[in-house]
Structure 1
Amino acid sequence: MFASFFLKPKWFFLSFALWSLTCVLGWYLAVADAGQWLSLGGLFGAGFPSGDVSADPLLEQAQTRAQEFWFYQYSLVAYLSFVGAWLFIGRGHEWAKWSVAGSALIVFLTWFQVEVSVMLNEWYGGFYDLIQNALSKPGSISIGDYYAELSTVAVIIMVAVAVAVFTRFFVSHYVFRWRHAMNDYYTARWQSIRGIEGASQRIQEDTMRFATIVENLGVSFLDSVMTLLAFLPILWGLSGFVKELPLIGEIPQALVFVVIIWSIFGTFLLALAGIKLPGLEFNNQKVEAAYRKELVYGEDHEHRAQPYTLSELFTHVRMNYFRLYKNYLYFNVVRYGYLNVGQFVPLIALAPAIVAGAFSLGVMQRILNAFRQVEDSFQYLVNSWTTIVELLSIYKRLRAFEEQIGQGPRIASEQTLVSPDAGSAPEPSAS
């Protein structure tokens, strides 16, 4: 599944995680303050100003612009170092450019979209402050001021749309290349696996679904991590407006405390409610494959796909689906209940500060948006649980499939293909 596309996948992903952690810690601990000596911003009109910048707003803006340029320069060097090293290691590997450079591009595009979210969060704060002034002091702003503020976000949105469209286009090609690599890997070993139950489906359908789901979950995970890194400091700073929580009283950085506790609670709650779903999804694909296989045999052989046999096989399909529906019933009760209640958690936490008038409407919007961004990041498992369940069932099938490679042509036994937690539906007969 991974070795067909990625060069040394365990080392590749481990090195990516370690290199990312090293770069992030390096930036915050040392590199951020080294821009005055190492930044090339002076060559592009973004050099660091000298003197006390706090006394001059123009110098302060120049300092911010220079620091941003230095951050982009540092990020570019970090990207090129990692990609260059792995492309050198993987020279001659058929899929190295797509798996290494393509993955790096997806990571970059994900980070860029998070940066757009940060810019929009800042814009909303100023825009709602403008609205508050207009509503509280009629005539204090002109219609031109209002439209001018709206026009500033137009550029951000156009760039965001263009990047989102390009991202989906590129990701579609990336996923298909991964599927192509898995397809070549399995078909080259067809003589060893052709007798395995559902072999054609696993190559034709499961490889496509596996690559698509892993890519989507991977991008979602990266987006969650990057969003957390971007918005947690923002929420930390905005927590200064909130001095106390209802029923609890004063607590430092109250909003950060609330979002972490609420997210951890939801993650464990949803995991407990959906603990049986992966096994049932896996067993569901198994009984569907047995039913489909008998129908295919019936197209070419008159003695196959008899009404009694089909009825028996479809009974197994029906029973497993009903078990799945029942488990999803209480899982969705918990899931949707938690998500809907969660919409009001920040408003409840902000109640004392709102009543005390501790901030403006614009600051409130920034707080609510930052809270939701951080909350969604911490709730990655909650938001992705049903997709993870589907991925686990596909992974089990492909893993059992791969275990047969190299053992010679034979029919895989049901015992081999079923995991111990695969559910308790009756075993279907393929005859």
Structure 2
Amino acid sequence: MFKSFFPSPRLFFISVLVWMIFNLILWHSGGHAWGEYLGFPKGYAEIESPVGVSRFWTASSLWFYLWFLLATALFAGFWRFFSDNKWQKWSIWGSAFILFNIWFGVQVSVAVNAWYVPFWDLIQKMLSEGGGNIEDLYRETLTFLYIAMVAVTLAVINSFFVSHYIFRWRTAMNEYYTEYWDQLRHVEGASQRVQEDTMRFATIMEDLGVELVKAVMILIAFLPILFQLSKHVPELPIFGAVEHSLVWAAIVWAIFGTVLLMVVGIKLPGLEFNNQKVEAAYRKELVYGEDHEERAQPATLKELFSKIRKNYFRLYFHYAYFNLVATWYRQLDILYSLVVLFPAIASGKMTLGLINQIGGVFDKVRESFQYLISSWKTIIELLSIYKRLKAFESILK
């Protein structure tokens, strides 16, 4: 699954983590200002980013782009020297490009969140003062439009690239399995493993990986903002005064939901795995029946299908209460961020722009902490595919 596409997977992913942490430490311990040695304006790193699309080509942003490119080149060069995996251009440079696009998408969210304050405060001012200059509204709307145009363009490019990335990963797995086909062909459902499971595994891994990295990056970008905004919400409903109230409110609610769904959904991965096994056995008998008259007899097919029926009915039952709990949690989640702000709103010390900014930041952080909640069904499917492919690969050991 991994060694076909990534060079020495265990060491590779450890090195990715170490290299990312090393670069983060360097960046935040002064590296963000080192661009001055390359001719960037003095003090550029201390200048606050403007509200608008121009924040994407400030000196600070350009220096980060260059830093990211150099860090990726050094990392790729290291693995080029120590490994000859034919797919590592895609697995390293391709992954880096996707990672950069995730980071850029998070920066777009930060830019939109910064735009909330002047835009909504302008609306509040016009409503409270009996009107204003309509051109100011158009100007602020264009600011958002420019940000959105950059974001949408890059998102489309990234979507196109990711499609090719996934297919390359699937190709790598397909080549690996077909190379050992003589050993693997006798495994029940071998054709499904090579044709279908490789495709689904690559797709789901990419989706979950992107969402995980995005969740982490959103936390890195928005948690400091949420810490600052917490001073405007000194009290929480029921609990009263709480330091860093918004941060604690997001963490506690997300942990509660994650643990809840993990408990109620604990049986689902095993049932999904069994489902594929009984489906594969039924399909295999039907395929044999196409070429051999003595196979796929009604009694045999009835017995195999009864196993499918039994497993599906168990899945329906367990998904019923899982979906009930998940749906109720999501419904309460819609109200949660607003209820948290009730004490601060009732005090009358907040502007409309501040409410929208806090709501936006709080929702971003809360959703990031809820990564497992939003992805739990997909994780269940991935675990079942992983178990099937792992059992498939065990033949080669």
TM range (shorter): over 0.9
Paired-residue identity, %: 53
Q: Which residue number in structure 1 is paired with residue 25 of structure 2?
A: 25
Q: Is the 8 A contact 2:250 2:365 kept in 1?
A: yes
Unaligned runs of 5+ in 1: 407-431
Q: Which residue number in structure 2 is paired with residue 191 of structure 1?
A: 182
Q: Which residue number in structure 2 is paired with residue 145 of structure 1?
A: 136
**Per-residue deviation at 1:316?**
0.8
Of structures 1 and 2, the larger Rg is shown by 1
**Per-residue deviation at 1:66?**
4.4
Within the candidate set 343, 346, 363, 1:355 is matched to: 346
Q: Which residue number in structure 1 is paired with residue 73 of structure 2?
A: 80
**Per-residue deviation at 1:81?**
2.4
Provide Cα deviations, 1:142-166, integer angstroms capped at 9, x if missing partner: 2211111111111111111111111
Within the candidate set 370, 394, 397, 2:388 is matched to: 397
Separation of aligned partners in 2, 1:177 and 1:146:
47
**Per-residue deviation at 1:29?**
3.1
**Per-residue deviation at 1:290?**
0.7
**Does residue 324 of structure 1 match 2:315?**
yes
TM alignment of 1:60-209, pairs within 5 A: 65-90=58-83, 92-139=84-131, 141-209=132-200
Separation of aligned partners in 2, 1:287 and 1:299:
19
Q: Is the 8 A contact 1:36 1:48 kept in 2?
A: no
Unaligned runs of 5+ in 2: none
Equivalent residue pairs, number = 392
Task: Assess, with a 3 A threshold, how the Cα gap between structure 1 residues 272 and 39 changes in structure 2: closer, same or farther.
Answer: farther
Q: Which residue number in structure 2 is paired with residue 222 of structure 1?
A: 213
Larger helix proportion, structure 1 or 2? 2
TM alignment of 1:286-301, pairs within 5 A: 286-301=277-292
Task: Assess, with a 3 A threshold, how the Cα gap between structure 1 residues 49 and 347 changes in structure 2: closer, same or farther.
Answer: closer
Within the candidate set 378, 384, 387, 1:387 is matched to: 378
**Per-residue deviation at 1:30?**
3.6
Separation of aligned partners in 2, 1:267 and 1:224:
14
Residues 289-298 or 19-28, more deviating:
19-28
Separation of aligned partners in 1, 2:88 and 2:98:
15
Which SS does the other structure have where 2:43 is aligned?
A: coil
Q: Which residue number in structure 1 is paired with residue 294 of structure 2?
A: 303
TM-score (norm: length of structure 2): 0.94
Q: Is the 8 A contact 1:35 1:67 kept in 2?
A: no
Separation of aligned partners in 1, 2:35 and 2:92:
32
Q: Is the 8 A contact 1:39 1:70 kept in 2?
A: no
TM alignment of 1:34-49, pairs within 5 A: 34-35=33-34, 37-42=36-41, 47-48=42-43
What code does the residue aligned with 1:89 have? F
**Does residue 377 of structure 1 match 2:372?**
no
Separation of aligned partners in 2, 1:110 and 1:37:
27
Q: Which residue number in structure 2 is paired with residue 422 of structure 1?
A: none
Task: Assess, with a 3 A threshold, how the Cα gap between structure 1 residues 309 and 2 changes in structure 2: closer, same or farther.
Answer: same
**Does residue 312 of structure 1 match 2:303?**
yes
**Per-residue deviation at 1:183?**
0.6
Q: Is the 8 A contact 2:286 2:296 kept in 1?
A: yes
**Does residue 255 of structure 1 match 2:242?**
no
Provide Cα deviations, 1:222-251, integer angstroms capped at 9, x if missing partner: 000001101111111111101111221211
**Does residue 267 of structure 1 match 2:262?**
no
**Per-residue deviation at 1:53?**
8.4
Provide Cα deviations, 1:282-306, integer angstroms capped at 9, x if missing partner: 0000000011111111111112112
TM-score (norm: length of structure 1): 0.86
